[in-house]
Structure 1
């Protein structure tokens, strides 16, 4: 099975698109794929406690549950620049969530056998 690198760019202002990305990441992880979920822009807040835990979207699984599924089988990363703009540091993240820069993202998506998706 290929690895999946999935970048979510949408925050609560675009709940349906954000939910699609988070749900695909969790479903792929549950299916056994190694998933690297990147949180960028306003979705960066979902990598921290107490921010944006709900998408307020009918029938949507809560963000914290989706992220927990991904963390069981893969990784969750907040974009470094996005974190800096929001003054999010490593100490501010959920357990298991890291902050990394564009070079790491590029390395991941350019690896052999990787499928990259952006929502």
Structure 2
């Protein structure tokens, strides 16, 4: 079984470099063959909606939409249940392939054998 990496992005445009770092590390981990789970929490929850990642801009950074596509192609992307509810985001609103789940699922993922969790 491949080592798993669970990454929690806690910011959006409000902390653009931190947000971009989470997506960049998630995409790099997918490219390295790790089992990747990217959690979108706080303001990053908006990037679970169609078109929102394409609106993100950070000089000298790979477009967020491209990074999200890489993670979606071979990993998992989750929008936090409470974060989604606070923003009136429902299961029908998110990009196909993205799920909405809460703390019990996050805890299950980070406590799995050989799991590493990172929070940005």
Tell whether the structures are fold-level matches, with TM greater than 0.5. Answer: yes
- Detail structure 1 runs of 4+ shifted over 6 Å in the superposition: none
Q: Indicate yes or no: 2:103 matched with 1:97.
A: no
Query: Unmatched 5+ residue regions in structure 2?
Result: none
Structure 1: distance between partners of 2:72 and 2:57 = 22
Aligned-pair CA distance for 1:52: 4.4
Contact residue 40 and residue 80 of structure 2 kept, 8 A: yes
1:31 counterpart = 2:36 = no
Q: Give the TM-score, by structure 1 length.
A: 0.95
CA distance in 1 between partners of 2:35 and 2:71 (Å): 9
What's 1:7 paired with? 8
Quote the Cα distance in structure 2 between the aligned partners of 1:52 and 1:109. Answer: 25
In 1: Cα distance, 2:76 partner to 2:53 partner: 19
1:78-115 alpha-carbon deviations (Å, 9 max, x no partner): 00000000000011001100000110001100111001
Deviation at 1:63, TM superposition (A): 1.4
Match of 2:69, SS state, is helix
Equivalent pair of 1:54/1:62 in contact (CA under 8 Å): no
Deviation sequence 1:4-55 (CA, Å, 0-9, x none): 0000001111101111111000000011111000000010000111324233
Computed over aligned residues only, the root mean square deviation of the Cα atoms, in angstroms, reads 1.0
TM-score by length of 2: 0.95
- Aligned positions, number: 119
Distance 1:52 1:75 in 2: 16
Q: CA deviation at 1:64?
A: 1.4
Q: Which 5+ residue runs of structure 1 have no aligned equivalent? A: none
Q: Is the 8 A contact 1:90 1:99 kept in 2?
A: yes
Q: Within 1, Cα distance between the matches of 2:8 and 2:115? A: 13
